[in-house]
Amino acid sequence: MAKLSLFERRRRRVRTALKARAGGRPRLSVHRSGRHIYAQIIDDAAGKTLASASTLTKGSKGPGANVDAAAKVGAELAAAAKKAGVTTVVFDRGGFLFHGRVKALADAAREGGLEF
């Protein structure tokens, strides 16, 4: 088996621990690229996406590679989750460290009413 990158090892470690304590709650998954940030709420049992938001949605302009854009995505996701009837989730940061854009998205989602 090929050696995994540090990012991939961190991502697997985070996701394994998360699934052990999820307790049937949906997962708020975050992905960030150099230009954009994406977030979705996934029901792993059913294999369906319940709500999603990103800097690529219609309301956003230009690249979303900053903390303000990430906070807007978090607020949009919280609103979409409320509409879908989701109130509690487990936060899946993937292999990304919890600071900067990822933290801004999480804080905005919490302020929007999501519990994690």
**Helices vs. strands in the chain: H and E counts, helices first:** 3, 4
Q: Is residue 32 part of a domain?
A: yes
Q: Is residue 1 part of a domain?
A: no
pLDDT band at 28 (very low <50, low <70, confident <90, very high): very high
Read off the pTM: 0.91
User: What CATH number does residue 80 fall under?
Assistant: 3.30.420.100
What does the block give as tokens for 75?
């607020």
* Domain hosting residue 53, numbered range: 6-111
The total of structural domains in the chain comes to 1
In this prediction, residue 63 carries a pLDDT of 65
| Separation CA 49–CA 56 (nearest Å) | 17
Cβ neighbour number for residue 41 with a 10 Å cutoff: 26
Q: Is the pLDDT of residue 87 over 80?
A: yes
Q: Is residue 116 part of a domain?
A: no
| Separation CA 57–CA 85 (nearest Å) | 21
